Structure 1
Amino acid sequence: MNASPVLLVHGGAWAIPDDAVEAHERGVRAAAETGWRVLEKGGSALDAVEEAIVAMEDDETFDAGRGSFLNEDGRVQLDALMMDGATLQAGGVGCVERLMNPIRAARKVLSDSPHIYFVGEGAERFAEEHGIALCANEELIIERELVRWKDAKKQQFLKVPSEFAGPGMDTHDTVGAVALDAQGNIAAGTSTGGTLNKAAGRVGDSSLIGCGGYADNLSAAVSVTGWGEPMMKLVLSKWAADRVEMGDAPQTVATAAIERLYTRLNGHGGIILLDSKGRIGLAHNTPRMAWAWKRPNAQESGVVVAGS
């Protein structure tokens, strides 16, 4: 099957401050360009998603990889997921502390393991055995997040941030990408450092199949961002993919998914979708969400989705 490639990325849905808007939009545009270079050379959707997410994990603007939030112990703990829409193969890692790019490890789990999910030291051991270098946790910590964490401790910040209860939320999380390649296959990926001052060992939606991401050529590739616990309860990415398979357009589904998130559980976040026809959907109910998409001879990016 010959298809016209498409790549869509997000860099988190939250109350992005005015002075951080430019960095977020620049970051998602750069990630889209990075992933697009894979697609325009005939590369796979999986490869494009992986490279786009690596670009954001390497960008300290985002809560993924270096520059992520610190947990209650003052450490970075990272989660990531990749899924192949052609085969339904998936790979996830959770609570890893010594991986600069957890999405690389998720991809290795997808491609090189009979299992789907590894956590903690076992995930790091698997990554190292498959050629991924480990780093010290201190290498993932930057001054901005250390200051933010200390302030949170002083304020006795809640494990589930109160900012998520309304549109004024002042925390950022999660990067993701979905892609369609020239062979007609779709893929999805999500990566995160989680929430500020989260409990040690807490895993949110991002690395769980059907929650933080999903991909099936028969339906859609999906990545979500926001307060993870409501998304987990709703299995939101799978819910959205199923609606596309039932015949709804991706944009209609994106809007409905975020409406469901809010009306059912008072949840806040954002979602990106892409089907095998190249149709996209974007929605959020947070003040801003960084996003960018690219297809042959067309591209767009922003920090607010019209109608959200």
Structure 2
Amino acid sequence: MRAFAYLPRLLRNCSTSSSSCPTPLHLVLYTASACSLCGRFKADLSRFLQQPERTHISVQEVDISTAPREIFERRGNPTEAPLRRQPHDQDPRGMGSRTGVIAVHGGVSFNPSTSLHSTCQEALLSSDKPDLIGAIKFLENCPNFNCGTGSNLTMHGRIECDASFMSSDELRYGAVSCVSRLKNPCEVAKSIAEDTSLSAISMVQPMTLVGFGAHQWAKERGFDLIEEDELISKKAKQMHEQGLNYLDSSMQPSTSAQLDTVGGLASDTNGSSLEVVSSSGGLFMKPDGRLGSSATFGASCWAEKRHDLTVGITVSGCGEALIRTNFARSLAEAIFSSDDDALPADVLRSWFDNSFLCSPLLTRMQPHNRLAGGLVFFSSPYTAELISFHNTPSLPFAYFSKNKCKSYLSVSPSSDRVTINSFILK
């Protein structure tokens, strides 16, 4: 969708020759900083006006929140955003002048009143310089999230964590599954992705290590092994006891405790290099030995660069649905394959509605279990965009960019459709 497609007929006529507009033309453009359509429009309009024959056209940009009400009364009411947000801005100390982005989410949530989005912000500000693995470790150490300390317990009361790391650099990937003695599974997953010891002697480098083997691999490389009990929180014990009571009474446990996998992504200053992480304690009351989406290639995280486009995705939700649809990888492919003028948020909505919710791969899965949410990062030579999405009641997340850290609790007005919000980063 190019800028001149939206301009008045007068401006389109002026694009052919400046002589058709002998006097200067001044336009007022009302925009919203968090609107992806506005960001794309401004980028296209800027290129449109760079042509020599359009030097007589000037544009004044005005934030739509400051626009007089009579503007909308003459042109109709503005469309309301599809979600309610609770922003909290903070200027981190000593952060320098970095312009990349680091974002983390606290998983698809069923309690919109929680302060988990503030904890996501704390994670980003937990070190002098924002660091993706450092932020995820912070969340893994917090008992309020279903990862690391505080993970859901298995049917038999054990800890079995999953985590994965992916980089757009050569599509490097590493994951651990069913680990119970790693305080921070995410950093071991990254270590697996970056290890080249076996490939150096012409052997196949592993992508995913499970259980005892993952523990041994980590120990040999200097990671500390802890006792499993250190990862079991009081909240997890209480929930496990409630789960056993549900099973004894032939009732189904609440879905609200099942899907809060955390994740994050980080790009360099020009958006061309990207890292993505996912970490989870798994489904509530899962069978022992269950492989989750956070340790399945292409399900919960994806990072890839093709030509001048970069896409990163970290997603939380019902793991079996994410695995069956290869959610993160398939969504990334849809964005890469879309038309040049398609908005990533529009591609996301279409893919979510048609290729996820209506996927034939989920035929045997009840609609109320087709749940997902997370973050998408899209970068091109003209724009960089962060998108949040979820079809659950809420999604807590935070991001750091341009020396500012912002946290949001995205609240869905409806359970019937996916809630999407876009943030233009450049």
Tell me, what secondary structure is at the counterpart of 1:4?
Answer: coil
Instruction: Name the structure 2 match of 1:41.
Output: none
Please give the alpha-carbon distance, in whole angstroms, between the structure 2 residues aligned to 1:157 and 1:190: 33
In the alignment, residue 268 of structure 1 is paired with which amino acid? L
Question: Where in structure 1 are there 5+ consecutive unaligned residues?
Answer: 39-47
Q: Are 2:99 and 1:4 aligned?
A: yes
Count of residue correspondences:
288
How far the C-alpha of 1:34 sits from its partner, in A, is: 4.1
Distance 1:35 1:54, change over 3 A: same
Provide the residue aligned with 2:110 in structure 1.
15
Question: Counterpart of 2:261 in structure 1: which amino acid?
Answer: T
For 2:248 and 2:214, the matched residues in 1 are separated by 29
Give the aligned residue type for 1:82.
F
After TM superposition, give the deviation of residue 180 of structure 1 in Å.
0.7
Number of the residue aligned with 1:57:
140
The 2-side partners of 1:100 and 1:170 are apart by 21
| 1:252, distance to aligned residue in structure 2 (A) | 2.8
The match for 1:119 among 207, 210, 226 is: 210
Indicate conservation of the 8 Å contact 1:36/1:294, yes or no. Answer: no
The TM-score normalised by the length of structure 2 is 0.63
- Greater RCO structure (CA 8 Å; 6+ sep): 1
**2:377 pairs with 1:274:** yes
Render the CA deviation track for 1:234-287: whole Å, top value 9, x for unaligned.
Answer: 111001111221244433344344434333343012021112343111110001
Given that residues 393 and 411 in structure 2 are in contact (C-alpha distance below 8 angstroms), is that contact kept between their aligned partners in structure 1?
no
2:402 paired with 1:287: no
CA contact (8 A) 2:152 2:236 kept: yes
Could you tell me whether the CA contact under 8 Å between 2:311 and 2:332 is conserved in 1?
Answer: yes
Of all paired residues, the percent bearing the same amino acid is 26
CA distance in 2 between partners of 1:35 and 1:195 (Å) = 30
Rg: which structure is higher? 2
1:31 aligns with 2:31: no
- Report if the CA contact (8 A) 1:284-1:305 is conserved: no
User: What is the CA distance between 1:94 and its match in structure 2?
Assistant: 0.4
Cα RMSD (Å): 2.2
1:25-174 correspondence to structure 2 within 5 Å: 25-34=117-126, 37-38=129-130, 48-113=131-196, 114-156=205-247, 163-164=254-255, 169-174=256-261
- Say which SS state the counterpart of residue 357 (structure 2) adopts: helix
Residue 49 of structure 1: CA displacement? 2.4
CA 1:138–1:54: 2 relative to 1, 3 Å: same
Q: Counterpart of 2:265? A: 178
1:89 Cα deviation after fit: 0.8
Q: Deviations over 1:99-129 (max 9, x none)?
A: 0100011011011152211001000100111
Change in CA separation of 1:153 and 1:30 when aligned onto 2, cut-off 3 Å: same
| Residues 128-173 of structure 1: per-residue CA shift (max 9 Å, x gap) | 1111000111000011110110111011189xx7644xxxx34442
Q: What secondary structure is seen at the aligned counterpart in 2 of 1:14? A: coil
SS for the counterpart of 1:244 is helix
**Structure 1 pair 217–32 and aligned structure 2 pair: CA distance change class (3 A):** farther
Unaligned runs of 5+ in 2: 1-97, 197-204, 414-418, 420-426
Aligned residue identity for 1:73: H
- Structure 2 Cα separation of the partners of residues 16 and 51 of structure 1: 26
- Residues 100, 140 of structure 1: CA spacing in aligned structure 2 closer, same or farther, 3 A cutoff? same
- The secondary structure found in structure 2 opposite 1:214 is strand
Compute the displacement of 1:178 (Å): 0.9
